[in-house]
A = this chain, B = another copy of it.
Amino acid sequence: MNDLYIGIDLGGTFLKAGLCDALGEVHSRKSIKTKSDEGKDLILSDIMGLVNYFKKKAENLGIIKAFGMGVPGLVDINKGIIYELTNIPGWKNVPIREILEAKTGLPCYVDNDVNVMTLGEFRYGAARGADNVIGLTLGTGVGGGLIINGHLYRGSTMSAGEIGHVNVEKNGRACNCGSFGCLEQYVGNKQIVERAIEKINAGKETTVLIDIVEGNLELMTPKILSAAAERGDKVAIEVWEETGEYLGIVLAGLINVINPDIIVIGGGVSKSGKYILKPVTKTIMARAMDVSSKAVSVVLAKLGGDAGIIGGAALAKEELPL
């Protein structure tokens, strides 16, 4: 019988889950729409429903050995505690492993979602075979995960990887974290859109953007900025180039310090991949040191919408004692 692993990705609007084998292949998927404010107990019962669903699915496939979950927040995987979730209230200091293991009868492992995504890409996606990896998610915020010498690196208090809060403008925009000029304030979804609107309001020529949003700038999204760039819109192209440059400056510094084999960019904004990768790579080549910049490749994530599921399964497989 095959060894199987359940991977679950807890997000603000969806609970995505899948049943994977030891090679990272997804044999069954199921998602549940959640409301972030529906409370912990309902989400836990949704998770139970998913686990039971996969237990049935597994009957002819193999044996479920463990279950791994990524959550958007601060977690101590060793203690099995969720300290706090971003944008999902009601999850302060929850002993998640104890709760889930009692309910499911399976070994359960819970980690930060960007760590989980990075591990998934490392084991089964774009970073297979690398030793040292920087994983990056671009979306509302900017998240990061690190693989060091073949293992997920979590730091001294499980809070490593906060690439979104590396400085990129010394005395720049105020950030939610309390600092100024953090990367997240220049490449987050909201900030990308704001920069485009500022440019239009300042009178920069835009041929396509205004058309697509039918004059209503409030409808602008990163997706629309990609579509406009595709059609040659100058404002959109400029915004993506600036975004890539900001990201490239921070990554150049991290390349000099961490000297990784590969940087994997995932998350929503990464769908605008080709508009970001080019200026990111150009900036890295111009700014990172010779030996390290030649050693690193910067690529888009491969696992796409399955990243959380496959990463969760990879976490379960990785953490389960042999």
Complex interface: chain B residues within 8 A of A227 (CB): none
Complex interface: chain B residues within 8 A of A161 (CB): 257, 259
Q: Flag if B162 contacts A260 (CB, 8 Å).
A: no
How many Å lie between the Cα of A292 and that of B177 in the bound state? 12
Complex interface: chain B residues within 8 A of A131 (CB): 156
Among B130, B148, B163, B291, point to the contact of A157 (Cβ < 8 A).
B291
Known: A170-B168, A257-B161, A289-B162. A149 touches B144 (CB 8 A): no
**9-residue interface stretch from A27-35, A85-93, A247-255:** A247-255
How many Å lie between the Cα of A165 and that of B155 in the bound state? 22
How many Å lie between the Cα of A151 and that of B157 in the bound state? 17
How many Å lie between the Cα of A286 and that of B291 in the bound state? 34
Complex interface: chain B residues within 8 A of A253 (CB): 165-167, 250, 253
0 or 1 for each of A243-275: is its CB under 8 Å from B? (1 = yes) = 000000110111011111100000000000000
Complex interface: chain B residues within 8 A of A296 (CB): 156
Give chain B nearest CB distance to A294 CB in angstroms. Answer: 8
**Is A37 an interface residue, CB under 8 A from the partner?**
no
Q: Flag if B257 contacts A144 (CB, 8 Å).
A: yes
**Is A178 an interface residue, CB under 8 A from the partner?**
yes
How many Å lie between the Cα of A295 and that of B168 in the bound state? 23
How many Å lie between the Cα of A168 and that of B180 in the bound state? 12
0 or 1 for each of A161-187: is its CB under 8 Å from B? (1 = yes) = 111011111100000011110000000
Q: Flag if A259 contacts B292 (CB, 8 Å).
A: no
Chain A residues packing against B (C-beta within 8 Å): 74, 130-132, 144, 146, 148-149, 151, 153-163, 165-170, 177-180, 249-250, 252-254, 256-261, 286-292, 295-296
Extra A-B contacts (11), CB below 8 Å, given A163-B257, A170-B249: A74-B291, A148-B148, A148-B149, A156-B295, A159-B295, A160-B259, A166-B253, A167-B168, A167-B249, A179-B287, A179-B288
